[in-house]
Every structure is written in structure tokens, then in C-alpha cells.
């Protein structure tokens, strides 16, 4: 059900274009939803007669949709008669204007079109291995990516995959996994994962032998973190609370994956462009700056803070670092920390590491992320 829903959201503009020639006027939303779902299934190669039968059955179960059985039957049958090349000619779905405008301003039209092309495809599944990535890739029939993540093309149900119950791996996009690697936690270090749930980065940090404190506001999301730690056998001290009210200082390293617009995750969450309109971005940007300032207070002198967001907007990445360096005298932007295996030099800018969905496009892309490593002065003042 989730696969069908996300595929339909991902291909919504294509589905509407494919259906338009066969509709005189738009039917009610529930009927339109069935038509869109059926259209996407047909366009992805499902047997048209099976799709038609399924959608007609769905329509017959609703009092308000029963009368549209004939319409759904006729429209999807006509769509099923179309040659596959007709669907191949449909344009790549574009981002909504509220997001596309700022993205084009930041990265240029060609780059945004390349991102949209990646976001139109079903993304592969990325795993972080508890042990040897090469051994995991061989066992799972996957590919070891340059940064060390393992990528599966056809994964199916995650919890049914071999090694899930044993805790041999956890799901984590390759871009998201880079942040903890940049932090470079070492055995015995006191490390804070400041917005920890659901725990992918916490497990990466715990695997280094560091003394990890996992902090998060949501008790529900921390429940998932506890489950993940139990499954993988890692340990971390778990604290439920507001990051801005957490006042325990002296950490050697802090990972701050700050709340953000999540615009970098659209390839995995195609509902996002429909669920947001950009209205909350100003408040998120202000919160990120406040969290950076607070995190720096929790660091020991000479300690390091990795700030990251799964956003494609410079205001939630590059600009945050520029302004943090202006606010804090002596704060160092450690660009050398970003030079990790698999990271291409062109991805590192003056403010930090910029990852985009169109990077590794031939491999299935990656989530959009910004990552920076900031070092507190060894002595204040």
C-alpha cells in the first residue's frame, strides 16, 4: 500500500496528463485518486485488465463512488490500450513553484531539472552495515557505494530482509550516513546526538566506541530509537527533552541534525511537496540558528560540532554557517573534516559539504544534505 501510494504521489503530474484526454471533466477526488493510482500502475507495466478490475472493485465499495464504476472502467481500459512509448514521452514531474523558484535561484535550472529527474524514479534502499559493508553487499546482492553504504535496487519489505532481526544493518540513506562519518567519533569520547531519533546516526556513533548521549524531544520517536538499539546491540544513554533546554556541557563532539524543511528527502517522501507550502521555513531557519548557538555552549573547549540539515535550501545550510561564523569569534569551519572516502572535491564549498539528489544519478541518486564541521576555540576569549 505504501509503495503504491508513494509511486502515485511521485508520478501525479504524469498520471494527470495521461488521463486528461479521456476525461471531459474532473470526477470527485476519491474517483480521481483511483484513476491516478490505476494510471500509475499501468504506466509502470502492470497488466491493464488486472488494474481495471481492482479499481472497479474499489469504486463499488463506496456509496459515493459506486456510480463511477463505468467511468473508471472505460477510462483505464482506454489508457491500457496506449503503447508504452506514449507514457515514456510524458515530461518529468516538476517541483511545486514555492520550492522550485528558490531551488533554481540557488542551483540553476539545469541542476534542478536533473534533481527532478532523479526524484521521479523510485529510489533504491540504502543500508549502513554493522560490520563489513562488502560482506553485507555480497550477502544481500547489493552494491557498496563509494562512501561505504550498501545499496539495494529491489529491496521489498525491509523487516523481511536477511539480517534485519539479527541487527546486521539499519536503513539509512547514503547522504544521511555521511554526517556521523564527518564527526569522526573516537572510543571513549563524550558525544551528543542532539536530535537523535529514529537513531541511524546514534548507532553509527555508538559503533565507534564513543560514550553516546541520544537526545530527542519526541518520546514516540525515541521508542523507535530504543528498538533500533536493541536490535543492533548498541548502547547509548537516552534523554527525552528539548534540545534548547538541555544544559549538560563538556561534550567532545556534537552531531546536530537540525529540524528543517526536509526538501532534500523528496525522492523518498514524494508527499512532501503536497503537504507543505514553505510557510514554516522562516521559523525553522531561526530555530536552526538558535540550536547551533546552544550546541556550541555544550562543547568542551576545542570540541567539534557537525551541523547538518536534509535541506536543499542554502538558507538552511550554507547561510547558517556563514552567520554562525560571524556570531562566534574564533569559531573554525573545518573543511578538511569533510574530506571523507567517496566525497568528491567539487561537493565541498566554502561553507561546507553540499549533497544533492542528482549526485550519483546513474546509481539512483542520494538525498539532499548540507554538512559542516565547526570547531570551538581551545580557549574562549
Distances 16 to 3, 35, 46, 59, 158 between C-alpha atoms, Å = 19, 9, 18, 19, 31
Residue 199 annotated as binding site: yes
- Partners of residue 333 on adjacent β-strands: 374
Q: DSSP assignment, residue 310?
A: S
Q: Is 373 a catalytic residue?
A: no
Residue 381 annotated as binding site: no
Point out the catalytic residue in the list 260, 308, 310, 373.
310
Distances 52 to 27, 38, 42, 229 between C-alpha atoms, Å = 17, 7, 9, 44
Distances 187 to 133, 143, 190, 220 between C-alpha atoms, Å = 21, 29, 9, 29
The cell numbers describing 197, all together, are 531519533
Say if residues 224 and 197 touch (Cβ distance below 8 Å).
yes
Distances 109 to 94, 104, 105, 275 between C-alpha atoms, Å = 11, 5, 8, 24
Residue 293 annotated as binding site: no
Residue 195 annotated as binding site: yes
Say if residues 215 and 184 touch (Cβ distance below 8 Å).
no
Give the list of residues 6+ apart from residue 116 with CB closer than 8 angstroms, or none: 92, 93, 94, 95
Residue 271 annotated as binding site: no
Residue 148 annotated as binding site: no
What span, in angstroms and rounded, lies between the C-alpha atoms of 162 and 169? Answer: 10
The cell numbers describing 203, all together, are 548507532
Residues that constitute the known binding site for S-adenosyl-L-methionine: 195-201, 216, 257
Residues that constitute the known binding site: 195-201, 216, 257
Q: Which residues belong to the active site? A: 310
Amino acid at each position: 500500500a505504501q509503495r503504491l501510494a508513494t509511486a502515485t504521489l511521485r508520478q501525479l503530474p504524469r498520471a494527470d496528463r495521461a488521463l486528461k484526454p479521456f476525461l471531459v471533466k474532473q470526477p470527485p477526488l476519491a474517483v480521481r485518486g483511483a484513476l491516478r493510482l490505476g494510471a500509475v500502475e499501468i504506466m509502470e507495466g502492470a497488466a491493464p485488465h488486472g488494474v481495471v478490475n481492482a479499481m472497479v472493485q474499489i469504486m463499488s465499495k463506496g456509496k459515493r463512488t459506486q456510480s463511477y464504476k463505468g467511468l473508471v472502467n472505460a477510462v483505464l481500459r482506454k489508457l491500457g490500450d496506449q503503447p508504452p512509448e506514449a507514457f515514456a514521452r510524458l515530461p518529468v514531474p516538476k517541483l511545486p513553484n514555492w520550492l522550485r523558484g528558490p531551488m533554481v535561484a540557488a542551483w540553476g535550472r539545469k541542476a534542478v531539472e536533473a534533481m527532478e529527474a532523479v526524484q521521479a524514479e523510485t529510489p533504491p534502499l540504502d543500508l549502513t552495515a554493522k560490520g563489513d559493508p562488502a560482506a553485507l553487499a555480497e550477502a544481500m546482492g547489493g552494491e557498496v557505494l563509494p562512501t561505504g553504504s550498501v545499496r539495494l535496487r529491489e529491496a521489498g519489505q525491509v523487516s523481511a530482509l536477511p539480517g534485519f532481526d539479527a541487527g546486521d544493518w539499519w536503513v539509512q540513506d547514503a547522504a544521511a550516513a555521511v554526517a556521523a562519518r564527518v564527526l569522526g567519533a573516537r572510543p571513549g569520547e563524550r558525544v551528543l546526538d542532539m536530535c537523535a531519533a529514529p537513531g541511524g546516526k546514534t548507532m553509527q556513533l555508538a559503533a565507534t566506541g564513543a560514550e553516546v548521549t541520544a537526545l530527542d524531544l519526541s518520546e514516540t520517536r525515541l521508542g523507535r530509537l530504543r528498538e533500533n538499539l536493541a536490535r543492533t546491540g548498541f548502547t547509548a544513554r537516552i534523554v527525552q527533552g528539548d534540545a534548547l533546554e538541555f544544559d549538560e556541557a563538556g561534550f567532545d563532539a556534537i552531531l546536530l541534525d537540525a529540524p528543517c524543511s526536509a526538501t532534500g528527502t523528496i525522492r523518498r517522501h514524494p508527499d512532501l511537496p503536497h503537504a507543505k507550502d514553505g510557510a514554516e521555513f522562516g521559523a525553522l531557519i531561526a530555530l536552526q540558528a538558535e540550536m547551533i548557538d546552544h550546541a556550541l555552549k555544550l562543547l568542551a573547549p576545542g570540541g567539534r560540532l557537525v551541523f547538518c540539515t536534509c535541506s536543499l535550501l542554502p538558507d538552511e545550510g550554507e547561510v547558517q554557517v556563514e552567520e554562525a561564523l560571524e556570531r562566534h569569534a574564533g569559531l573554525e569551519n573545518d573543511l578538511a573534516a569533510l574530506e571523507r572516502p567517496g566525497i568528491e572535491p567539487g561537493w565541498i564549498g566554502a561553507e561546507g559539504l553540499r549533497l544533492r539528489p542528482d549526485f550519483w544519478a546513474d546509481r539512483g541518486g542520494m538525498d539532499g544534505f548540507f554538512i559542516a564541521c565547526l570547531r570551538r576555540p581551545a580557549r574562549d576569549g
